[in-house]
């Protein structure tokens, strides 16, 4: 059995080598991402393990299949960038890692909220200028707020428990109700109800056609004045222009975004200076004390990286051996 793993970073390599040695399976680690220029490296292998934000296009998948590989294991959750028609046409088996560390993302989300509520970005800037005064930057307390959690999968539930630990009132919305949360009576029937009641909106939904830009002008208009927005999920959930307008008007008090609509090619890149960042809307947000931008790092812990690598390799091994895997994604 031979597996090729694309886009392997230095922080992933030790976990890949650990798994390869323990399993006695040859795994070729490639630093480059899977695309039309690297797909031929997969010739002679039985499966491919990948991680990237750029699309898995039909051209790439067709060529991968022509090279004899139809076992594809993603080291991440989202599959919205995989060409579904090409998957079906070529008979691909695709797996993901649905829960590499829900706690990592949940903890980061709440940490960013606390930074916003306690105005730490403002105090950091003031102190760098020698200003050690308190006023006028008085804080808010999470324990007195209502937090609306959108989507109650593993990550949403992990975040929800942390919010409850702070003493916040929590409400939730999901098309599919978790039985435990149902018993607690946490669900509201519609997003409009959640928007109307929540002081904080915490997004934990996957990106789908149905929820593209779900936080748009119409949605913001239904929210409380001074609402806080948290998005560690997918950039496509938030209409960036609408968010900027809501921040400008004061409808939104602040936001923490670990993802961004146009993050591909921008996040995880060193541009050398702030001015060189090639996205004016992103720079608009980054200039604000009441907006926290992080480059898709909520997942980025040692535990999560190990799980992403080794769970994906386990999935690929299962596909090669049996044609099935527990984390197989249906298209």
Does residue 288 carry a catalytic annotation?
A: no
Alpha carbons 159 and 106: distance in angstroms, whole number? 4
Query: Same structural domain for residues 6 and 149?
Result: no
Domains identified in the chain, total number: 2
Residue 309 corresponds to which tokens in the numbers above? 């690598």
Query: Same structural domain for residues 78 and 214?
Result: no
Query: Same structural domain for residues 155 and 275?
Result: yes
Give the CB-side neighbour count of residue 162, counting CA atoms within 13 A.
Answer: 21
Give the dihedral of Cα atoms 282, 286, 288, 294; nearest 10 deg.
110
**Cut 0.95: pTM above it:** no
Does residue 234 carry a catalytic annotation?
A: yes
Alpha carbons 110 and 231: distance in angstroms, whole number? 11
Does the residue 329 lie in any domain?
no
Alpha carbons 31 and 329: distance in angstroms, whole number? 25
Alpha carbons 156 and 299: distance in angstroms, whole number? 14
Query: Same structural domain for residues 224 and 239?
Result: yes
- C-alpha closest to that of 204 among 299, 63, 311, 279: 299
Query: Same structural domain for residues 83 and 126?
Result: no
Contact in structure between 147 and 163 (CB atoms under 8 Å)? yes
Active-site residue among 12, 112, 261, 263? 263
Res 264: pLDDT: 85
Query: Same structural domain for residues 219 and 233?
Result: yes
Range list of H helices, 174-279: 179-184, 191-197, 217-221, 240-249
Does the residue 330 lie in any domain?
no
Active-site residue among 154, 234, 261, 281? 234
Does the residue 183 lie in any domain?
yes
For 255, residues 6+ apart whose C-beta sits below 8 A from its C-beta are: 116, 228, 229, 230, 231, 243, 247, 285, 290, 291, 292
With residue 94 as reference, give the H or E element that holds it: strand 93-95
Query: Same structural domain for residues 21 and 133?
Result: no
Does the residue 328 lie in any domain?
no
Does the residue 331 lie in any domain?
no
pLDDT, tens digit (0-9, with 9 covering 90-100), for 58-116: 999 999 999 999 999 999 988 888 999 999 999 999 999 988 999 999 999 999 999 99
Query: Same structural domain for residues 189 and 40?
Result: no
Does the residue 207 lie in any domain?
yes
Look up the domain containing 74 and give its range.
2-100+302-322
* Tens-digit pLDDT string for the chain (331 aa): 999 999 999 999 999 999 999 999 999 999 999 999 999 999 999 999 999 777 899 999 999 999 999 999 999 988 888 999 999 999 999 999 988 999 999 999 999 999 999 999 999 999 999 999 999 999 999 999 999 999 999 999 999 999 999 999 999 999 999 999 999 999 999 999 999 999 999 999 988 899 999 999 999 999 999 999 999 999 999 999 999 999 999 999 999 999 999 898 899 999 999 999 999 999 999 999 999 999 999 999 999 999 999 999 999 999 999 999 989 999 9
Pairing, β 252-257 against β 227-231: parallel
Active-site residue among 157, 296, 321, 328? 296
Q: What is the CATH number of the domain that holds 211?
A: 3.40.50.720
Alpha carbons 131 and 114: distance in angstroms, whole number? 22
- C-alpha closest to that of 295 among 39, 53, 20: 53
Does residue 296 carry a catalytic annotation?
A: yes
């Amino acid at each position: 059995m031979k597996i090729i793993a694309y886009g392997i970073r230095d922080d992933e390599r030790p976990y890949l080598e650990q798994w390869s040695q323990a399993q006695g399976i040859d795994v070729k680690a490639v630093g480059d991402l899977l695309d039309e220029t690297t797909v031929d490296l997969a010739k002679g292998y039985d499966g491919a393990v990948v991680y990237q934000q750029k699309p898995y296009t039909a051209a790439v998948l067709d060529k991968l299949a022509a090279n004899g590989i139809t076992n594809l294991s993603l080291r991440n959750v989202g599959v919205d960038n995989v060409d579904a028609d090409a998957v079906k046409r070529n008979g691909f088996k695709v797996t993901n890692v649905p829960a590499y560390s829900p706690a990592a993302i949940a903890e980061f989300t709440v940490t960013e909220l606390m930074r916003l509520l306690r105005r730490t970005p403002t105090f950091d800037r003031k102190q760098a200028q020698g200003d050690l005064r308190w006023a006028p930057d008085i804080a808010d307390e999470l324990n007195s707020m209502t937090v609306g959690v959108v989507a109650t999968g593993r990550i949403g539930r992990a975040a929800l428990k942390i919010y409850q630990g702070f003493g916040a009132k929590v409400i939730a919305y999901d098309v599919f109700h978790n039985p435990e949360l149902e018993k607690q009576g946490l669900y509201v029937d519609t997003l409009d109800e959640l928007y109307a009641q929540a002081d904080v909106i915490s997004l934990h939904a996957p990106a789908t056609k149905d929820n593209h830009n779900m936080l748009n002008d119409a949605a913001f208009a239904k929210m409380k004045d001074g609402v806080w927005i948290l998005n560690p999920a997918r950039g496509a959930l938030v209409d960036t222009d609408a968010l900027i307008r809501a921040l400008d008007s004061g409808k939104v008090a602040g936001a923490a975004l670990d993802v961004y609509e146009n993050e591909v090619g921008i996040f995880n890149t060193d541009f050398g200076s702030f001015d060189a960042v090639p996205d004016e809307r992103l720079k608009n947000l980054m200039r604000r004390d009441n907006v926290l931008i992080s480059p898709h790092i909520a997942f980025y812990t040692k535990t999560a990286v190990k799980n992403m690598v080794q769970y994906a390799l386990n999935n690929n091994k299962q596909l090669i051996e049996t044609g099935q895997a527990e984390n197989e994604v249906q298209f």
